[in-house]
Amino acid sequence: MSNYKDYYKILGVSKNATDAEIKKAFKSAARKYHPDLHPEGKKAEMTEKFKDVNEAYAVLSDKQKRTIYDQVGQEGYQNYARGGGGQGAYGQGGNPFGGAYQQYSGGNGNTYYNFSSNGGGDFGGADFSDFFQSIFGGMGGFGGMGAGRGGFSGFGGARAGGSGQKNGDVEAELALNLEDAHRGGPMQLTLPTGRNVTVKIPAGVGEGKRIKLKGYGNPTPRGNGDLYLVIKIRPHLTYRLEGDDLYVPVTLMPWTAALGGTIFVPTLDGPVKVKVPAGTHNGKKLKLSGKGLSAKGNLYATLTIDVPRTLSKEQKELFTKLSQIS
């Protein structure tokens, strides 16, 4: 069994941290450990730390997984590990958090589906550790709430026969990275029954959209109901998503803001060259039509004027002259 991971320590927050505190700590840690911001000799070390940060946020930012993680605890996990991941100290199945699962299943016949992607498709993403898989793998280990392999995780789900659904129908949440939701494509899921199914994710699929899998719901006297995947898009380090629109901060040098010029704005399809008008002020938004999550969405670049921290002798002289004639 893998060693216990203290997700709170990884993000540098207390066990009572609010959602806002966890999100803030995640952004700070992700910037600190991003491999691209470190020299070649430290990239491997930073890559592992970066993975840990992403994994910690994936758990602590999700109410259900955080509840399960807290209820398992370090002592519970170590007892489970000493028991070989099987019967151990928790009896048959080694499930130390059956109560947490019962809370979300409701104990009244409501159905929850939890998914693990088997890879497949063109989706890269989070590489979760064996520790994460042992708790949230969904197909063994602790028998948890679902895990992401290859960047995908479907967590929790709605009760069977919910509002607007016929008996036998089931809803389940499917979490996607922003880039994957934008590109779309085939993705393979493993159902709790062990059955594999390939799902075609539409390009530009938005938060809350539903994908119907006919005949993959609960059995009924009239045949199987349907399974509805409800899309959830994970938070992104660079972009903020609102509906189909994306918002991204872009740094602008003061001379470009004053004189105008050309800058590159990052989009989900790659950087785009954009003209900045002369006299641009701090906080101005540039609209890139059709560059949002889907062709219907737009991308808004919010410009922030950056003042150089150090100036060469010539630059200092020019700024001094500018201040004198202004």
Residue 121: strand, helix, or coil = coil
Q: What are phi and psi of 199, to 5 degrees?
A: -110, 135
Residue 64: strand, helix, or coil = helix
Topology of the domain comprising 240-325: HSP40/DNAj peptide-binding domain (2.60.260)
54: which 2 tokens? 């992403």
pLDDT for res 69:
87
Q: Which of 102-111, 134-143, 219-228 has the lowest mean pLDDT?
A: 102-111
pLDDT in tens, 45-56: 988 998 899 889
Contact (Cβ atoms closer than 8 angstroms) between residue 205 and residue 146: no
**Percent share of the chain, pLDDT over 70:** 74
pLDDT band (50, 70, 90) for residue 166 = low
Q: Which residue has the higher pLDDT, 309 or 298?
A: 298
26-43 average pLDDT score: 86
Contact (Cβ atoms closer than 8 angstroms) between residue 170 and residue 157: yes
CB-based contacts of 123, cutoff 8 Å, min separation 6:
117, 150, 151, 152, 177, 180, 185, 187
Number of alpha helices (DSSP H) and beta strands (DSSP E) in the chain: 9, 15
- Work out the mean pLDDT of the chain and round it to a whole number: 75
Helix ranges (H only) for the chain are 7-11, 19-33, 43-60, 63-82, 98-105, 130-136, 178-183, 254-259, 313-325
pLDDT band (50, 70, 90) for residue 235 = confident
**Dihedral angle over CA of 55, 56, 60, 61, nearest 10:** -50
Q: How many residues does the chain have?
A: 326
Q: Which of 9-13, 101-105, 237-241 has the lowest mean pLDDT?
A: 101-105
96-113 average pLDDT score: 33
Tokens 């758990």 correspond to 59
Distance between CA atoms of residues 54 and 175, nearest Å: 14
269-280 average pLDDT score: 91
pLDDT for res 137:
55
pLDDT for res 169:
86
Contact (Cβ atoms closer than 8 angstroms) between residue 217 and residue 224: yes
pLDDT at 151 over 60: no
Topology of the domain comprising 101-233: HSP40/DNAj peptide-binding domain (2.60.260)
**Claim: this prediction has a pTM higher than 0.75:** no
HSE-up (13 A, CA, CB side) for residue 57: 24
Distance between CA atoms of residues 92 and 114, nearest Å: 21
pLDDT at 60 over 90: yes
Q: Which residue has the higher pLDDT, 259 or 124?
A: 259
pLDDT for res 245:
96
- Can you give the residue ranges of every domain in the chain? 101-233, 240-325
